[in-house]
Structure formats: C-alpha cells, structure tokens
Structure 1
Amino acid sequence: MFSKSKINDPSPRTGDAPKPSGTDKSLDAPKPAAPAPGEFKATAPKAKPPASVLSSDLHVTGNMKTTGDIQVEGTVEGDIRAHLLTIGESATIKGEVIADDVVINGRIVGRVRGLKVRLTSTARVEGDIIHKTIAIESGAHFEGSVQRQDDPLNGKSKAAAAPAQAPSAAQPSGAAQSKS
C-alpha cells in the first residue's frame, strides 16, 4: 500500500534513474503530509501569551477589548475590557474598566467592574466600583461608591447609573425595559 521514497531507496529502478526527485510530485507530496497529522495533535494546552503592554509614552483614544491580559502604563481615553488588567503607577484611564481581575496602581476616572478588584497604595479612583471581591490598601485614594455583585461583569446594576448617558448598542436590553 505504501511505497518508499526514491531518496531512501538504495537501488534505483532502471526507468527512474534519470528523473530528478523534484519532478515527480506523486512521490514528494505524501512524504511531507504523512508526519503532519502527528505534529498538529494538541497534547498540551498552548502557553498563555504575555500581557499586552501600553508604554508610558503611549496615548490611546478609543475602546480596547481582549480575552487576554493588558498592562497599561500610558493614557487611555476609552473603555477597556480584558481578562487581567493592570494599571501602572504612571497610567491614567478615562473610561469604564471591565476585567476578571483588576489591579490598580495608577489613576482611573470612570466605573470599574471586576470579579477581583485591588487598589494598591498608589491607586487613585474617581468612580464607582462594582466587584465580587475587593481589596483596598492603606494610602489608596477613592471617590465613589462600592457595590458587591455576584456577577459584576454582566453590566446590569441595581443603580442603573446610565440614565444621563445616551443609549448605546453596548447596553443590555434590560436597561431599555426599565423605562416601561
């Protein structure tokens, strides 16, 4: 059923000797394809990619969304959604922050939503924090309200803090029903 490649055959056949190995496509194609199925089998999960770092000299205007990790050292004017979000000491965020895990060392002006929220001693937060668990170190500056929710990432809050804002496509449909 399988035939050996000409390269590995010690005795060339009489009719095939003058042909170069690259011209016969029927023998060359199966050889690279044969080991490929074994190479692509996932035996171990992929390594987690490193966090995306926004350096201190970077100014971003616009929203960011990722399933990975972000470390912000610069300035962001817009909303950020990530798995792990680390706000550096020199960073300033003006917008809503949504992440599974939020570590704040710098400044945020806007709402923070996270399963785990941690304000270090250098943190400055001006806005509401909606969390499942929170840690606030001594020396952190915080102005706003703190609300615990079992699922703070879903965007629905009892306060419905967005009546002054224009409706957007990102708001859940439940927000429109509360006006009825």
Structure 2
Amino acid sequence: MGVFGKHREAADTPRGGTTIVADGSRIHGELTLAGKLHIDGYVDGRIDCQGDVSLGRSGRFEGEIHAERLLVSGLLRGQVHCKALEIVSDGVVEGEVVTDEFVIESGGRFVGQSHRREQTDAQVPESSLPQVDLEEALPELSAEDSDQLTTSG
C-alpha cells in the first residue's frame, strides 16, 4: 500500500475543496491552492498547493510543484517538493524530487534526482568549513617531478 492509502486525521486536511483541471483543458501560469488539486488536462507553470495533488493518467504537468502529497498516474516533468510522492503504474516523473517519502509502484518510472527534504534544508555555514592553506598542504614539486607531469602521456 502506498503513501496515499494511509489514514489521515481530519484535522490535517486543509480547508477548501478540490480543484479539477479536466481532460482537454490547458493552463499556463501559477496556481496557489488551499485545498486539493486533480489534473487530467495539461498544466505548465508553478503550483503551490497546501493539500494533496493527483495527476491522472491523461494529466500532464511541466514546471515546479509544491504540495503536501503527490500521486502521479500521468506525466510530470520538472521540480517536485512534497512530503510524500507516489508514482503508480504508468506514472512517469522526470526531473528533481525533494521529498520525505518516495514510492514507485511496479510500472511507474522515475528519471532524475531525488533528495530527502532535510538534506536540502540543511545549509552548512561557510565559517564551519575547515580552512586549508594550499601552499602548506601540498608538497612542492621538484623540477624533475614537474618535467614528468608535463611530458608523461
């Protein structure tokens, strides 16, 4: 059972209804939603959704998407940021994924890079990196060593 089959508390569900992009519809631009989104048509752009997003078999999305959970049965190309991603049979995701939970069912395909959310959220301050003086760290090359580096092949 994938991440979408898990029981959720009613208090976790964002307010608002479900927005549907029907098969044959085309949207280009930015969508900001408090509720859920289901795509059977084509969307190109950016989606910021506080709820779950599902991409149906006929659904196509290109761009950047931020969602609570994402279920992909169609084709998604771009960047994904979510708590949970599930690619079901015939679903395809191409691009970069940043998520905590990642499920690919038999027949689903993923081509790209995936990262856990805490890996991308953690920034290492430059001041905490060790400072290395290259002249002290690297031994000097003798004239003979230098000749070997330029003439070897």
TM-score range, shorter chain: 0.5 to 0.7
Q: More helix by proportion, 1 or 2? A: 2
> Does structure 2 retain, via aligned residues, the 8 Å contact 1:115–1:151?
no
Task: Report the secondary structure of 2:52's partner residue.
Answer: strand
Specify the structure having the higher radius of gyration (Cα).
1
Q: Give the equivalent residue in structure 1 for 2:39.
A: 72
- 1:137 counterpart (97, 105, 130): 105
- 1:56 counterpart (23, 34, 39): 23
Cα deviation 1:9-43 (Å, max 9, x = unaligned) = xxxxxxxxxxxxxxxxxxxxxxxxxxxxxxxxxxx
CA shift for structure 1 position 51:
0.8
Q: Give the equivalent residue in structure 2 for 1:128.
A: 96
Instruction: List runs of 5+ in structure 2 lacking aligned partners.
Output: 1-10, 124-153
Query: Structure 1 residues 157, 87: CA separation in 2 closer, same or farther (over 3 Å shift)?
Result: farther
Q: Is residue 101 from structure 1 mapped to residue 101 from structure 2 by the alignment?
A: no
CA distance in 1, matches of 2:86, 2:76: 13
Alignment RMSD (CA, Å): 2.2
> Does structure 1 retain, via aligned residues, the 8 Å contact 2:16–2:34?
no
Q: Looking at both structures, which has the greater relative contact order when contacts are Cα pairs under 8 Å and sequence separation is at least 6?
A: 2
Q: Give the equivalent residue in structure 2 for 1:90.
A: 58
* Identical amino acids, percent of aligned pairs: 23
Q: Give the equivalent residue in structure 2 for 1:168.
A: none
Cα deviation 1:70-90 (Å, max 9, x = unaligned) = 001000011111111010110
CA shift for structure 1 position 122:
1.4
Amino acid at match of 2:58: S
Query: Structure 1 residues 58, 138: CA separation in 2 closer, same or farther (over 3 Å shift)?
Result: same
Query: Structure 1 residues 149, 51: CA separation in 2 closer, same or farther (over 3 Å shift)?
Result: same
Paired residues, number: 110
CA shift for structure 1 position 48:
4.9
Q: TM-score normalised to the size of structure 2?
A: 0.66
Q: TM-score normalised to the size of structure 1?
A: 0.56
